[in-house]
Structure 1
Amino acid sequence: MTSNDLVVVLPGITGSTLGVRGDDGSPASEHLIWAPSAGAVWKLLTGGQSILKKALPEGIGDGHPDDGVEPVGLMPDVHVLPGIWTPIRGYDVLVSALEKQGYQRGTGGKPATLIAFAYDWRLSNRYNGERLKTVVEPALEQLRAQGGAYADARVVFICHSMGGLIARWYIEKCGGAEVTRKLITLGTPWRGATDALEQLVNGVKKGIGPLSLDLTDFSRSMPSLFQLLPEYACISNGGGWAKTTEVSVPNVSTAMVADAMAFHTDLQAAETARPASRTMTHMVVGIRQPSQTTVTFQDGHAVTSQTFGSDNDYGDGTVSLTGAVGLGEALDTNLAVRVPEQHTNLQCNQFVLDQVQEILTAQPVRRREITDTNVRAVVPDLVTAGQPLKVAFDLEADDPGDDPPRKAVTVSVRDAKGKVLATAEPKLRAGHGVATFADLPPGTHTVTLAGSSPSSTVRPVTSTTLVWPEPSR
């Protein structure tokens, strides 16, 4: 069942493939510089067509560098720039679910009811918000021109992660409020994410950890990554908490930090002034996963913590709950749907897909049973081939003070094609378990923690990890 609206899907940072138009005029889709899948990720990072050669010039602001880079499509597969954000599963599951409901991309002269909006994720979210306008409004006009049930069609945005910031900018600052019916955000850092602060301050330097390449200059050139910085006061400062513009943030451009804060405060002011922002918004947030929330600066480095003092709000493993809840709402707001899932997998989670369908159609949808035991998982983003992958987890008690549940958990690792590479059923001690996997092949792998039987009451959690090949000697 579909609505008669135009549905627009926006991926997160790194979630669009990028290419460069050929000298012979051939399309960018034939010259991809960012489209890694499984074993190809390191080739695209280190080869002749490396995305890392496309760092942005200083002072780019909200402009375009005219370097020939063009967005091509949404990532269908697992993708990651190590040290820049989080490994993310692709968007084919979400798009396919929408197509099965009857939404169609425009073909054969027929107006589209579904747009998968690819964008150059290096650039400012303000720039991409303006560009979104040039794509969405002509498509909506064509759809409305059919008349009948489509005459009053509007736009519904489904946004994962940073895609929600772009849609919000378009809605509030580019006139999009007039044509938008609903905004659905999946793990969007409405108030930013501490992970971005850590990555920008500490960088990813050659020779540190398992990497043999340097992403620091590339990451620090991206306005979009700065615009993922926390807006909330998250920096330990003399017994209190400070915002990024209230202290000196080491190693990064003060001007870009200030501009990123202005991006958030401008959006918040516009949403506050427009009460309809609340009635049109549906926030889906990941919960109960260990998430970095606050930062202490020590000797020019950012050291993160999962707590505000003694308080731990958790989140989706990448965006803390503090950063995920927007519109000035308290963390217990009724505007948010909470799903115990990792950031990497929210857009593929079946319960989330069911929620999206119900929001789109406003019709009853049969949901899968919500089970009663939640898993908190810690899965490394990156390990080197030859090193063991250690997956740690805890089972959450139903009520504080209760003993941890005694339920078997199976941890499985699958490759990018879905083939099971290894499974383990670790012994639990006080609700805590660790599964160790040795000799995993290089590539991007999916890690799933679930009950050991179909009738188990353990709610599954999925994450993604990258096994990096050993450097050649």
Structure 2
Amino acid sequence: MTSNDLVVVLPGITGSTLGVRGDDGSPASANLIWAPSAGAVWKLLTGGTSILTKALPEGIGDDHPGDGVEPVGLMPDVHVLPGIWTPIRGYDVLVKALEAQGYSRDGAGTAPSLIPYAYDWRLSNRYNGQRLGSVVEPALERLRAQGGAYADAKVVFICHSMGGLVARWYVEKCGGAEVTRKLITLGTPWRGATDALEQLVNGVKKGIGPLSVDLTAFSRSMPSLFQLLPEYACIAAGDGWAKTTEVSVPNVSTAMVADAMVFHTDLQAAEGARPASRTMTHLVVGVRQPSQTTVTLRDGRAYTSQTFGADNDYGDGTVSLTGAVGLGEALDTNLAVRVPEQHTNLQCNRVVLDQIQEILTAKPVRRRDELKDTRVRATVPDLVTPGHALEVGFDLESELGGDEPPRKAMAVTVRSAKGKVLARAEPTVRGGHRVARFADLPAGTHTVVVEGAEAGSTVRPVTSTTVVWPTASR
């Protein structure tokens, strides 16, 4: 069952394919420059001619560089830029789930009720938020023009990761509040993410791991990556914590750091001044996964930690809970739905998909896995370089602390991007943690699932993604 609103899906950073118009007049969709699929990611990073290796113009701010790059569509499967954010599963599962509920991209002869919104994720979230209105508002008018139940249609945004920042800017700063009914964010870094700070300070240099190109200048030229910087005080400073604008952050543009902080504070001020921001927003956050939360700056490098002193708030493995909870809410806010899952898989998680359906229809959907009461905390490397094995470490919450209960039978499964099982192993115990080791995996982007090994297991599975780099560039 559908609502009568226009549903718009926004992916996270790197989650939209990019292309350029050809000299022969061919569309951008025929000349893709960012569309890695399965094991093809390294082809874009080893040729030296990809536009993704070229820095954006200095001082680009909230403008487009005029380089002919256009967003084309949402990434259908696993995608990653090593050293820039984290591997993400694609958006096909989410889009197909919405279509199964009756939303239509082509409209079947009528106006579309579902728009997968692709955007140039290199650019400022302010730019993409402004552009969002030029796509959404005409589509909403077409839907309303059908009359009847659609006459009062509004927009519902479903946003993964950075897509939530784009939608928030449109809603609060570009007039979108008037046409928006609901904002659903999945793992959005409302207050930023420590990973972005570590990546910008330390760089993504040639010769690190498999890279034969230097992505440092490219990453440090992206306004969007700066706008993922933590707004909260996360940098160790004496006996306390400082914000990025209160200390000298090495190796990066001070002006871009300051502008990113203004981006966050402007949004927070607008939301605080509009009470409806709270009633329209649904926060879905990943929890219980080891997540980098704070940073120590030393000798020109950033060193991350999962804790604030003795406190560990965890998160989704990429965005800590501190960064994921917005609207000035405390970490135990009732505005947030908490799902034990990794950032890479929130938009594909079955419980999350059920939650989205409930929000859209305002009708209860029976939750899956209600009896699965054991939660996994997993650490899966983003990248496995040649000559190294994939090591997946994890703990079960029911086995942490207190008297040691009987250990549950567990398994770790590695699947290709197409779903083929590549390997499955039972973990061993090392240093008090469970570890599964996989050697000789084929190169490619793979899905890693940590789950109970027995039928009827009460363990909630956790899914993540890793890239196994080829021995030689292909």
* Shorter-chain TM-score range: over 0.9
Deviation at 1:212, TM superposition (A): 2.5
1:212 equivalent to 2:209? Answer: no
Partner of 1:87: 87
Please tell me the residue identity of whatever aligns with 2:276: A
Percent sequence identity over aligned pairs: 83
Partner of 1:389: 390
Deviations 1:444-473 (A, max 9, x none): 000000000230011100000001112469
TM-aligned CA distance change 1:38 to 1:49, over 3 Å: farther
1:336 equivalent to 2:345? Answer: no
Partner of 2:307: 307
CA distance in 2: counterparts of 1:404 and 1:24, whole angstroms:
67
Deviation at 1:312, TM superposition (A): 0.2
Structure 2: 5+ residue runs without aligned partners? none
Write out aligned runs for 1:73-472 (5 A).
73-107=73-107, 109-370=109-370, 371-397=372-398, 401-403=402-404, 406-428=407-429, 432-471=433-472
Deviation at 1:38, TM superposition (A): 1.3
TM-aligned CA distance change 1:183 to 1:402, over 3 Å: farther
Q: Does the CA contact (< 8 Å) of 2:54 and 2:217 recur in 1?
A: no
Please tell me the residue identity of whatever aligns with 2:264: H
Please tell me the residue identity of whatever aligns with 1:432: H
CA distance in 1: counterparts of 2:9 and 2:473, whole angstroms:
40
Deviation at 1:49, TM superposition (A): 5.2
CA distance in 1: counterparts of 2:186 and 2:18, whole angstroms:
23
Q: Does the CA contact (< 8 Å) of 2:8 and 2:156 recur in 1?
A: yes
SS at match of 2:185: strand
- The count of corresponding residues between Structure 1 and Structure 2 is 473
Q: Does the CA contact (< 8 Å) of 1:231 and 1:243 recur in 2?
A: yes
TM-aligned CA distance change 1:72 to 1:472, over 3 Å: closer
TM-aligned CA distance change 1:431 to 1:93, over 3 Å: farther
CA distance in 1: counterparts of 2:107 and 2:152, whole angstroms:
22
TM-aligned CA distance change 1:149 to 1:289, over 3 Å: same
SS at match of 1:397: helix
SS at match of 1:406: coil
1:19 equivalent to 2:16? Answer: no
Q: Does the CA contact (< 8 Å) of 1:184 and 1:283 recur in 2?
A: yes
CA distance in 2: counterparts of 1:12 and 1:49, whole angstroms:
24
Q: Does the CA contact (< 8 Å) of 1:123 and 1:222 recur in 2?
A: yes
Please tell me the residue identity of whatever aligns with 1:32: L
Please tell me the residue identity of whatever aligns with 2:63: G
Please tell me the residue identity of whatever aligns with 2:239: G
SS at match of 1:120: coil
Q: Does the CA contact (< 8 Å) of 2:42 and 2:473 recur in 1?
A: no
SS at match of 2:451: strand
SS at match of 1:392: strand
CA distance in 1: counterparts of 2:238 and 2:54, whole angstroms:
40
CA distance in 1: counterparts of 2:218 and 2:49, whole angstroms:
15
Deviations 1:212-263 (A, max 9, x none): 2211001001000000000000000011100000000000000000000000
CA distance in 2: counterparts of 1:324 and 1:51, whole angstroms:
31
Deviations 1:97-150 (A, max 9, x none): 000000001346520100000000000000000000000000000100111100
Q: Does the CA contact (< 8 Å) of 1:190 and 1:323 recur in 2?
A: yes
SS at match of 2:398: coil
Q: Does the CA contact (< 8 Å) of 2:6 and 2:153 recur in 1?
A: yes
CA RMSD of aligned residues (A): 1.5
SS at match of 1:309: coil
CA distance in 2: counterparts of 1:131 and 1:402, whole angstroms:
56
Q: Does the CA contact (< 8 Å) of 1:385 and 1:468 recur in 2?
A: yes
TM-aligned CA distance change 1:287 to 1:23, over 3 Å: same
Partner of 2:50: 50
Deviation at 1:50, TM superposition (A): 1.5
Please tell me the residue identity of whatever aligns with 2:435: V
Deviation at 1:206, TM superposition (A): 1.1
SS at match of 1:208: coil
CA distance in 2: counterparts of 1:334 and 1:436, whole angstroms:
39
Q: Relative to structure 2, which stretch is displaced further, 407-416 or 189-198?
A: 407-416
TM-aligned CA distance change 1:146 to 1:324, over 3 Å: same
